[in-house]
């Protein structure tokens, strides 16, 4: 049995968001759609100018501007999304409505695991886990109910239990669970 009383910070949440954008199918789809949006919109403006029969010098300048804007947006999309998300989290924090539970008590027993927060108590079977992610910042558990649990590294390094905890989860979860280890080299 493993038991953790954890505090999730804005940084922990943003690290999960960064992982999600970089390594999950849905996160990459979000990045791809943002990256395609700028070229589509800018080239639509170019098409309108062409239909309006603008002179060739103006069309060339707009075309070059479209290419530059598209390249810049492609390069900065992830940073843009993370910055917007961080801003939304700060705004939600001021309103007292965070997108995550800042305090949680997690108990991983033999048959199930329980998450208790200030406002909710949820019980899950290990079959609910779809993905286990181990990063240098912590462990992320993705469940079938579209929930991600964050266990920051600080709570795993106290007694150096991270490898034992992962082995425990692997023994409890089905063989279909995806395990992703992402550590800095």
Distance of alpha carbon 114 from alpha carbon 69, whole angstroms: 48
Two structure tokens written together for 9: 């910070």
pLDDT tier at 185, thresholds 50, 70, 90: very low
CA 179 from chain centre, in angstroms, equals: 16
Distance of alpha carbon 149 from alpha carbon 39, whole angstroms: 36
98-131 confidence digits (pLDDT tens): 899 999 999 999 999 999 998 889 999 999 999 9
Q: What is the pLDDT of residue 67?
A: 86
Distance of alpha carbon 107 from alpha carbon 121, whole angstroms: 11
Q: In the chain, what's the furthest Cα-to-Cα distance?
A: 73
> For domain 2-10+100-182, which architecture applies?
Roll (2.30)
DSSP-assigned states of every residue in 109-155 = -SSEEEEEESS-EEEEEGGGEEEEEEETTEEEEEETTS-EEEEEHHH
CA-wise closest residue to 141 among 109, 116, 117, 165: 165
- pTM of structure: 0.82
Count of beta carbons in the 10 Å neighbourhood of residue 129: 21
CA-wise closest residue to 111 among 37, 173, 182: 173
pLDDT tier at 184, thresholds 50, 70, 90: low
Comparison of pLDDT for 52 and 128, the residue scoring more:
128
Give φ, ψ of 112 to 5 degrees: -160, 180
**Domain extents for the chain?**
2-10+100-182, 12-95
- 57 in the Ramachandran plot: left (φ > 0), alpha (ψ -120 to 50) or beta? alpha
């Amino acid at each position: 049995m493993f038991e953790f009383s954890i505090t999730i910070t804005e940084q922990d949440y943003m690290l999960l968001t960064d992982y999600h954008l970089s390594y999950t199918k849905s996160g990459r789809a979000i990045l791809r759609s943002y990256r395609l949006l700028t070229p589509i919109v800018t080239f639509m403006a170019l098409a309108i100018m062409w239909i309006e029969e603008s002179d060739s010098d103006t069309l060339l300048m707009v075309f070059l501007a479209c290419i530059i804007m598209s390249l810049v947006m492609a390069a900065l999309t992830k940073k843009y999304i993370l910055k917007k998300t961080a801003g939304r989290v700060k705004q939600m924090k001021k309103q007292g409505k965070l997108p995550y539970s800042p305090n949680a008590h997690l108990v991983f027993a033999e048959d199930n695991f329980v998450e208790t927060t200030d406002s909710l108590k949820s019980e899950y079977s290990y079959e609910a886990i779809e993905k286990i992610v181990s990063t240098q910042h912590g462990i992320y558990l993705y469940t079938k109910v579209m929930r991600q649990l964050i266990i920051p590294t600080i709570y795993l390094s106290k007694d150096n239990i991270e490898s034992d905890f992962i082995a425990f989860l692997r023994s409890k979860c089905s063989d279909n669970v995806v395990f992703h280890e992402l550590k800095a080299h």
